[in-house]
Amino acid sequence: MLRPSPSARWGGARPVLGALEQLGGDLGTALLAFCLLLWLGVVAVLSLVGLGLLLAPAALRGVRWLADRERARLSRWGPDVLGPGPAPAPWRAALADAASRRELVWVAGHGTLGLVYDLVGIALPVYAVRDVTYPLYWRALAPEEFGSPWWWPVSGWTDAVAVSLLGLGFAALTVGLTPLMARVQRQAVGRLLGPPPGTDLSLRVAELTATRAAALDAHVAELRRIERSLHDGTQNRLVTVTVLLGAARRSMERDPAAAGELMERAQDAAEQALAELRSVARGILPPVLVDRGLAGALSGLAASSPVPCTVDVDVPGRCPVSVEATAWFVVAEALTNVARHSGASSVRVTARRRADRLFVTVTDDGHGGAVEGGGSGLAGMRRRVEAHDGVLTLDSPPGGPTTLEVELPCGS
């Protein structure tokens, strides 16, 4: 008998839980906005006697700080909300700045109406739980407490059940209303704190230009690596084969034994050249990646790693070939770095696909201290990841452990 997975059983509750989490986070910034609004009022009053003008720059920096905090919070729930950067230092310039004026309007609305709005959203599930469970505990209350509870006097089980039915109504409002409230709140804040029209597009064009340059650099670096591998390895082996075969041909009649030895050496050199060709071909696109997917390819890397390696892959379906190849390259390079530089006794590789993003993490228990440059290959990894619009994060404090995280877009 098949049973639904926990994610399937709770999938319907995720939008509501996510909305409540968003409204809870918004309530925190609304409380900060309320306090900041009171401070702005004090600064405005003190400005009448000139003292507030000294406090105005710090107050406006506080507005920018809180707005940036809200942008960062909203960016965790959807597309990044871009900020305008540091606020102008002179208070007159800050007030003349369009972004600063919109942030002041946001603080005024968020600290008043937004605070009430978030309190209503959070109160709905609280009322729902309180009223639905009322029949379970109303008899335990003192008579003067359960006799006049929330909405009407309760004198028996009929009234208690009526309170519970009212709680079901609050639960229905929670399910139907809180996701809409979170979406409306995000849209309203996005209009005030988001960039002016066209800014996002221009930044995106600049970002794509940079990633295109990174892709070209990564492509050129890959071509150089292949050329260097063929020139320094395979080509030298083939030259050796040619020289040995020529020497064997000349020695065939006068010294057959020496010719046989030369032919054997030529065969060994040809086999080595073939092995190097296969290695270069696997570096371009490993056949196991095509045949067995990312899970099989990463398991193959772990099996050949000098450091004991465990692999945990949860990637349903297939990602684009270029994304899988990049993930494989990053893990292969990371395992090479672990074996050469970390002094680790174990390493763990995890790969997860969440919606349209692929997350790959490599963690070792070595001595840490990894930095880009110095022949570690991290710069090459970053170029390949950024060429896919991905993000590479390295956390390697002295003493370890070292964690390399890669996030790659892989389509829906």
Res. 127: pLDDT tops 60: yes
pLDDT at 5: 34
* pLDDT tens string 22-69: 888 888 888 998 998 898 888 888 878 777 677 777 887 888 888 888
* pLDDT tens string 135-170: 887 767 655 555 555 566 777 777 778 888 888 888
Res. 9: pLDDT tops 50: no
Report d(CA 97, CA 87) in Å as an integer. Answer: 8
User: Which long-range contacts does 277-286 make (Cβ < 8 Å, 24+ apart)?
Assistant: 277/234, 279/229, 280/226, 280/229, 280/230, 280/233, 280/234, 283/225, 283/226, 283/229, 284/222, 284/226, 285/321, 285/325, 286/325, 286/328
pLDDT at 195: 66
Task: Work out the average pLDDT over 1-8.
Answer: 35
Chain Cα centroid distance, residue 133: 39
pLDDT at 143: 55
Question: Model's pTM, two decimal places?
Answer: 0.46
C-alpha dihedral sign at 379, 381, 385, 390: negative
* pLDDT tens string 93-112: 666 677 778 888 888 888 88
Strand 357-364 vs strand 402-409: parallel, antiparallel, or unpaired?
antiparallel
Res. 364: pLDDT tops 80: yes
Report d(CA 251, CA 258) in Å as an integer. Answer: 7
Region of poorest pLDDT, from 93-107, 244-258, 276-290, 341-355: 276-290
Amino acid identity at 251: S
Task: Work out the average pLDDT over 310-323.
Answer: 85
Question: Are 116 and 124 spatial neighbours (Cβ–Cβ below 8 Å)?
Answer: no
